[in-house]
Structure 1
Amino acid sequence: MEYSQNDENFSLIRFESMLKTNDILFFDSNEFENIIHHYLESGKIALAKRAIKLGLEQHPSSINLRLYQVEILVIENKFEEANDILDMLNDLEPNNEEVYIQKANVLSKQDEHEKAIEILLLAIDKSKTPDDDSDLYALIGMEYLFLDQFENAIIYFKKCVEVDTTDYSALHNIIYCYDFLNQNSEAITYLNSFLDNHPYCEVAWHQLGRQYFAIKEYAKANAAFDFAIISDDTFVGAYIEKGKVLEKLKQYDDAIENYKITLALDEPTSFALLRIGHCYEKLGEDDMAIQFLKKTVDEDPLLDKGWLAITKFYMKRLDYQKALYYINKAVNIDGDNVLYWKLYATVNKRLNFLEEAERGYKRSLELGNYELDTWLDRSDILISLGEYEASVYNLLQASEFYPENAEVEYRLAGLYFTMHQIEEGRFHLKNAVQLNYEYNFIIAELFPKLNERAIVRAIISDSKKTSN
Structure 2
Amino acid sequence: MEFSQEEPNKISLKKFESMLKTNHVLFFDSDEFENIIHHYLNQGKVSLAKKAIKLGLQQHPSSTNLKLFQVEIFVFENKLKEANQLLDALYILEPSNEEIYIQKANILSKDDKHEDAIKVLTTALDLSEETSELHSLIGMEYLFLDNFEQAKQSFMSCLAEDNEDYSSLYNVMYCFDFLNENQEAIHFLNDYLNGSPYSEVGWHQLGKQFYTLKEYKKALSAYDFAIISDDRFVGAYLEKGKVLEKLKRYNEAIENYALTLELDDPTAFALLRLGCCHEKLGQFDLAKQYFYKTVKEDPLLDKGWIAITKFYNKQKNYQKALYYINKAININEENAVYWKLYAKINHRLNFLEEAERGYKRAIELGNYELSSWLERSDILIKLGETDAACLNLIQAAEFYPEEADIEFRLVGIYYGMLETEKGSYHLKNALDFNAENLFIVEELFPLVYESTTFKKALKKLQ
After superposition, give the CA deviation of every residue in 1:358-382 in whole Å (9 maximum; x if it has no partner). Answer: 3433554566656554343233212
Equivalent residue in structure 2 for 1:146, among 120, 144, 147: 144
Give the 5 Å matches for 1:194-205. 194-205=192-203
| CA distance, structure 1, for counterparts of residue 457 and residue 36 of structure 2 | 84
Aligned to 2:266: 268
Aligned to 2:172: 174
Which one is further off, 135-144 or 48-57?
48-57
Equivalent residue in structure 2 for 1:10, among 10, 14, 19: 14
Aligned to 1:350: 348
Give the 5 Å matches for 1:52-63. 52-53=53-54, 55-63=56-64
Post-superposition offset of 1:136: 0.9
* Letter of the 2:66 counterpart: L
Aligned to 1:385: 383
Post-superposition offset of 1:231: 1.0
Post-superposition offset of 1:303: 1.7
Structure 1 residues 460 and 148: alpha-carbon distance in aligned structure 2, compared to 1, 3 A threshold: farther
Aligned to 2:117: 116
TM-score by length of 2: 0.85
Q: SS of the counterpart of 1:234?
A: coil
Give the 5 Å matches for 1:295-314. 295-314=293-312
| CA distance, structure 2, for counterparts of residue 61 and residue 372 of structure 1 | 74
Equivalent residue in structure 1 for 2:429, among 427, 434, 440: 434
| CA distance, structure 2, for counterparts of residue 455 and residue 391 of structure 1 | 22
TM-score by length of 1: 0.84
| CA distance, structure 2, for counterparts of residue 332 and residue 171 of structure 1 | 37
* Letter of the 2:283 counterpart: E
| CA distance, structure 1, for counterparts of residue 132 and residue 67 of structure 2 | 24
Give the 5 Å matches for 1:20-59. 28-45=29-46, 48-49=49-50, 51-53=52-54, 55-59=56-60
* Letter of the 2:220 counterpart: N
Aligned to 1:104: 105
Post-superposition offset of 1:122: 1.4
Q: Is 1:344–1:360's contact at 8 Å kept on the other side of the alignment? A: yes
Aligned to 2:132: 134
Q: Is 1:405–1:432's contact at 8 Å kept on the other side of the alignment? A: no
Q: SS of the counterpart of 1:84?
A: helix
Structure 1 residues 4 and 175: alpha-carbon distance in aligned structure 2, compared to 1, 3 A threshold: closer
Unaligned runs of 5+ in 2: 1-6
Structure 1 residues 59 and 365: alpha-carbon distance in aligned structure 2, compared to 1, 3 A threshold: farther
Aligned to 1:84: 85
| CA distance, structure 1, for counterparts of residue 32 and residue 224 of structure 2 | 47
| CA distance, structure 1, for counterparts of residue 205 and residue 328 of structure 2 | 35
RMSD, aligned CA: 3.4
Q: SS of the counterpart of 2:266?
A: coil
| CA distance, structure 2, for counterparts of residue 12 and residue 433 of structure 1 | 90
After superposition, give the CA deviation of every residue in 1:184-243 in whole Å (9 maximum; x if it has no partner). Answer: 222222222222222211111111111222222222211111111111110001111111
Equivalent residue in structure 2 for 1:447, among 436, 445, 453: 445
Q: Is 2:352–2:379's contact at 8 Å kept on the other side of the alignment? A: yes
Q: SS of the counterpart of 1:216?
A: coil
Post-superposition offset of 1:262: 0.6
Tell me the matched-pair count: 452
Structure 1 residues 373 and 233: alpha-carbon distance in aligned structure 2, compared to 1, 3 A threshold: same
Q: Is 1:410–1:429's contact at 8 Å kept on the other side of the alignment? A: no
Which one is further off, 282-291 or 244-253?
282-291
Give the 5 Å matches for 1:232-381. 232-331=230-329, 338-364=336-362, 373-381=371-379
Aligned to 2:3: none
Q: Is 1:74–1:106's contact at 8 Å kept on the other side of the alignment? A: yes
Structure 1 residues 258 and 430: alpha-carbon distance in aligned structure 2, compared to 1, 3 A threshold: same
Q: Is 2:356–2:376's contact at 8 Å kept on the other side of the alignment? A: yes
* Letter of the 2:133 counterpart: D
Which one is further off, 402-411 or 210-219?
402-411
After superposition, give the CA deviation of every residue in 1:285-304 in whole Å (9 maximum; x if it has no partner). Answer: 22222222222222222222
Equivalent residue in structure 1 for 2:215, among 217, 220, 229: 217
Which one is further off, 102-111 or 431-440?
431-440
Which one is further off, 325-334 or 174-183?
325-334
Structure 1 residues 115 and 460: alpha-carbon distance in aligned structure 2, compared to 1, 3 A threshold: farther
| CA distance, structure 2, for counterparts of residue 153 and residue 170 of structure 1 | 10
Structure 1 residues 38 and 442: alpha-carbon distance in aligned structure 2, compared to 1, 3 A threshold: farther
Aligned to 1:93: 94
Which one is further off, 276-285 or 161-170?
276-285
| CA distance, structure 1, for counterparts of residue 209 and residue 354 of structure 2 | 45
* Letter of the 2:297 counterpart: E
Unaligned runs of 5+ in 1: none
| CA distance, structure 2, for counterparts of residue 26 and residue 270 of structure 1 | 51
Equivalent residue in structure 1 for 2:161, among 159, 163, 168: 163
Percent of matched pairs sharing the same residue: 58
* Letter of the 1:88 counterpart: A
| CA distance, structure 1, for counterparts of residue 148 and residue 27 of structure 2 | 49
Which one is further off, 356-365 or 101-110?
356-365
Q: Is 2:370–2:396's contact at 8 Å kept on the other side of the alignment? A: no
Post-superposition offset of 1:168: 0.9
Which one is further off, 79-88 or 406-415?
406-415
Q: Is 1:399–1:405's contact at 8 Å kept on the other side of the alignment? A: no
Q: SS of the counterpart of 1:298?
A: helix
Post-superposition offset of 1:8: 5.6
| CA distance, structure 2, for counterparts of residue 95 and residue 145 of structure 1 | 27
Q: Is 1:409–1:429's contact at 8 Å kept on the other side of the alignment? A: no
